[in-house]
Amino acid sequence: MSKTASADLERLSKLQSEELELHKKIRKLTEEQTELLTKDDIEAFNTSLEKREKLIEEIKGLHQESTPLMQSYASSSSEGKNSTVENLKKEIREVIETCAKLNDKNITSLKRKTEDLTKEIDDKSAKRKGIGGYAQSVPNTPEVFDKKT
């Protein structure tokens, strides 16, 4: 293996290690989001989403540098494959799959909460309209309230 290829492989491994750590942080945030949804702490949930978005931006930055290295690595012969790089790719894939499952669970939970809140708002709105209709039929002139019995 040439010196350049070896340096590229080392750099690719380093970038993938950094990416793996960022994905693990995303997984941790996604797990926290599940707990926050259970507690109905929407503000903290939104803050967590913002943090996750920043991590995703960092990963995109890593991809800009690692994509050419990965393409070069992928086009190399099977003898040139590195177990470290292959293991990192596998680990990253597993973490992403876990995050995807947790995200699906969180989305389902959010949809359910949204539907419940919408129904609750609609019910309260209907009750308020009913009260409003009743209130219109009750006289509210000052004479009624000022009259002493």
Count Cβ atoms below 10 Å from residue 35 Cβ, excluding itself. Answer: 12
In a domain, 144, yes or no: no
Structure tokens at 66: 């690692």
- Identity of the amino acid at 87: N
State how many domains the chain has.
1
Q: Rounded to 5, what percent of the chain is helix, strand, coil? A: 90, 0, 10
The whole-number pLDDT of residue 116 equals: 87
Which value, in Å, is the radius of gyration of the alpha carbons in the chain? 29
Nearest to 18 by CA among 53, 54, 66: 66
The whole-number pLDDT of residue 66 equals: 92
What is Dmax (Cα atoms) for the chain? 105
Nearest to 52 by CA among 109, 106, 14: 106
**CA atoms of 137 and 12, how far apart (whole Å):** 77
14, 90 in Cβ contact below 8 A?
A: no
Structure pTM? 0.75
User: Structural domain of residue 40, as residue ranges?
Assistant: 3-138
In a domain, 110, yes or no: yes
Nearest to 94 by CA among 7, 27, 9, 45: 27
Q: Which alpha helices (H) appear in 40-82, and where do they start and end?
A: 42-75
How high is the mean pLDDT in each 10-residue block of the chain (149 residues)?
79 95 97 93 93 96 92 76 89 96 93 89 77 59 56
The whole-number pLDDT of residue 142 equals: 59
Measured CA distances, 72 to 5, 46, 80, 88, 108 (Å): 9, 39, 11, 17, 40
